[in-house]
Amino acid sequence: MPTQLNPYLSFRDNAREAMEFYKSVFGGELTVSTFGEFGMDEDPSEKDKVMHSQLESPNGLVLMGADTPNSMDYTVGTSISVSLSGDDDAELHGYWDKLIEGGDVQQPLEKAPWGDSFGMCADRFGVNWMVNIAGAGA
């Protein structure tokens, strides 16, 4: 198996909801395991929190996520963005349109000075996304 780099998103207690949302955006198969399923529920109120989830889309995108136990610090991060890029305009615009539902557009997806279409947003879960669609001569 070749080495892979996969975004792993952290949430306080809504990983299942977020990952279901990403499944609606990207399609594919979502697997979810809870702390309780693995006997890792020292705090019984957290037994249903997501210990690990993984979404694998039909075109090979992989996104992982988990809830953060209350005993651990959690701060919504702004220092990292998930970047989607390619040349399939319809596919990437489709992702963009779904990601911005209930989210915040920081830079509209439009023609950029370098010739591509580019946009930035934070989705409804506070995750930052960048979308870059290669221009005609790419």
Instruction: State the pLDDT at residue 71.
Output: 85
Same domain (yes/no): 20, 44: yes
CA distance 92 to 134: 10
Instruction: State the pLDDT at residue 4.
Output: 79
Predicted confidence pLDDT, tens digits, the chain (138 residues): 676 778 999 999 999 999 999 999 999 999 999 999 988 767 888 999 999 999 999 999 999 999 998 888 887 765 678 999 999 999 999 999 999 999 999 999 999 989 999 999 999 999 999 999 998 644
Asked if the structure places residue 3 within a domain, the reply is no
Same domain (yes/no): 48, 91: no
Same domain (yes/no): 57, 13: yes
**Contact criterion met (CB below 8 Å) for 130 and 118:** yes
- What is the residue range of 94's domain? 81-133
The predicted model scores a pTM of 0.85
Asked if the structure places residue 56 within a domain, the reply is yes
Q: Which residue has the tokens 């911005």?
A: 100
Asked if the structure places residue 33 within a domain, the reply is yes
Asked if the structure places residue 125 within a domain, the reply is yes
Instruction: State the pLDDT at residue 5.
Output: 78
Q: What is the CATH number of the domain that holds 107?
A: 3.30.720.110
Q: What is the CATH number of the domain that holds 47?
A: 3.10.180.10
Asked if the structure places residue 50 within a domain, the reply is yes
CA dihedral 94, 32, 49, 18 (to 10 degrees): 0
Asked if the structure places residue 74 within a domain, the reply is no
Same domain (yes/no): 13, 52: yes
Instruction: State the pLDDT at residue 138.
Output: 45
The tally of domains found in the chain comes to 2
Asked if the structure places residue 55 within a domain, the reply is yes
Same domain (yes/no): 89, 60: no
DSSP letters, the chain, are -------EEEESS-HHHHHHHHHHHH-SEEEEEETGGGT--SSGGGTTSEEEEEEE-TTS-EEEEEE--TTS------S-EEEEEES-HHHHHHHHHHHTTTSEEEEEEEE-TTSSEEEEEE-TTS-EEEEEE--TT-
Same domain (yes/no): 57, 87: no
Last residue of a domain, one of 19, 39, 67: 67
CA distance 131 to 109: 7
Same domain (yes/no): 27, 63: yes
